[in-house]
Homo-oligomer: A and B are copies of this chain.
Amino acid sequence: MKKDIDALMAARNLDALLVTGGAPHNPAMYYFTGGGHISHADLIKRRGAEPVLFFNSMERDEAAKTGLPTRNLADYRLQDLLKATDGNLLQATILRYQKMFQDLEISAGRVAIYGKADIGSAHAIFSGLAEALPGLIVVGEMDDTVLLQAMATKDAAEVERIRKMGQVTTSVVGEVADYLTTRRVQGDVLFESDERPLTIGAVKRRINLWLMERGAENPEDTIFAIGRDAGVPHSAGTPEDILRLGQTIVFDIYPCEAGGGYFYDFTRTWCLGYAPAEAQALYADVRSVYELIMAELQMGGSCPDYQRRTCELFEARGHPTVQSNPQTEEGYVHSLGHGVGLNIHERPWFRINAVPADTLQPGAVVTIEPGLYYPERGLGVRLEDTVWVRLDGQMEILAEFPLDLVLPMRDGR
């Protein structure tokens, strides 16, 4: 949680953090500002002190709303710095950062940098800054970063935002189920209108619209895949594919708050009208593993151990897994889940080789998403819910929705 940042900085001997970029779709900045229409800013946090937000003067109102101590970037007079450097934007920018650090009385120490931005510019600026302030050491962290460790557990306000996105998600999933089950069917084909068969593309356009109406966006698309595509875990679906009865549909939806905030992550596998025996059998295996693992989750439990256990359970049911064969493209081919927050994928990791090995700490919000895939047989099944590890140690699914495989068609089929 945010309150752990100073301790995490101390453990890594970091004197300050610097975050750059806008708030939307930039988790490191969003984490500190809580969102807002901030298109560009810098934020510097000294260990033990509140973070200071350096804002563009046109965004002064948005900056004030964050409640953070602020400074106006205009006061650093880039125009004058450009004059002093013959118009060299890089040198002027380095000078500006130098002054910003001086104003916070940071002239030396280890400073870690974060934010989604152009890596070339950042490399030029921060290498230049380290040269200009010889006592300053610029630190880049990867994967096991202070911020990803802090973000791995959520405070109450963050959990409520994720829960609200969960409600948006399940509400849209309900709309999709209603829409599909009330289509006219001819042969085994669903129709969008009198003449036009219903395609994956048409369903996805409705999903986008329903998300937008509820204040959510869909920056990483939605997986709505049938047939062979359903057997490939990351295939998003082919827009021209036509919906038919009795095919497995993998529907994995992971929207975030409009303006690039907190995500939710959710998957169901559906067959419209009826399910072939092969799909039923696969579904039964996934569902039993889903239920066993859900029942076994415990506060403090090792995430990679749950992944190993999932492999064990699938192997006992006769499926290849990444444990028996790391290159397998059939059976259980991915990891059990991941943290969800401002990143759709974040710590804790369930991968067996993640360093350090994560555990289910109170405040963690994780997906549990066992699945089985047989692309050559045109089959895939995945079930996924997002679970909060409550402070009392209980596991809570943040948005409940039926797990059913078969969606009966309303016309009685």
Q: Name A's B-contacting residues (CB within 8 A).
A: 20, 28, 37, 39, 58-59, 79, 82-83, 86-90, 93, 112-127, 138-145, 205, 208-209, 212-213, 220-221, 232-236, 326, 353-355
Contact = CB atoms under 8 A, between A and B. Distances in A.
Contacts of A119: 20, 113-117, 119, 122-123, 126, 140
Contact of A121 (B86, B120, B140, B354): B140
Contacts of A233: 58
B37 A236 contact: yes
For the complex of A and B, the 4 pairs showing the least CB-CB separation, nearest first, are A123-B140, A124-B140, A87-B355, A119-B122
Given A123-B123, A212-B212, 20 more contacts: A20-B119, A37-B221, A58-B234, A82-B353, A86-B355, A87-B355, A89-B144, A90-B143, A114-B118, A114-B119, A116-B116, A117-B119, A119-B119, A121-B140, A122-B122, A123-B126, A123-B138, A123-B140, A205-B213, A209-B212
A120 B124 contact: no
Contacts of A112: 120
Nearest to A355: B87
A181 B161 CA distance: 38
A25 to B, nearest CB: 8
Contacts of A232: 58
Nearest to A57: B329
Nearest to A21: B119
Contacts of A20: 119
A38 B66 CA distance: 34
Contact of A116 (B90, B118, B138): B118
Given A123-B126, A125-B142, A353 B79 contact: yes
Contact of A123 (B113, B213, B221, B326): B113
Contacts of A139: 120, 123-124
A16 to B, nearest CB: 13
B326 A79 contact: yes
Q: Which of A120, A126, A213 is most buried by chain B, counting CB atoms within 10 A of its CB?
A: A120
A120 B142 contact: yes
Nearest to A146: B120
Given A89-B142, A209-B212, A120 B114 contact: yes
A82 B349 CA distance: 15
A341 B90 CA distance: 23
A68 to B, nearest CB: 21
Contacts of A87: 353-355
Given A82-B353, A87-B353, A121 B93 contact: no
A287 to B, nearest CB: 25
Given A79-B326, A209-B209, A89 B143 contact: yes
A47 to B, nearest CB: 17
Contacts of A125: 140, 142
B145 A120 contact: yes
Contacts of A127: 140
A28 B39 CA distance: 20
A83 B125 CA distance: 34
Contacts of A144: 89
A79 B213 CA distance: 42
11 contacts: A37-B236, A58-B234, A87-B354, A87-B355, A89-B143, A112-B120, A114-B118, A116-B119, A120-B140, A124-B141, A208-B212
Given A37-B236, A89-B355, A122 B143 contact: no
A234 B138 CA distance: 33
A292 to B, nearest CB: 27
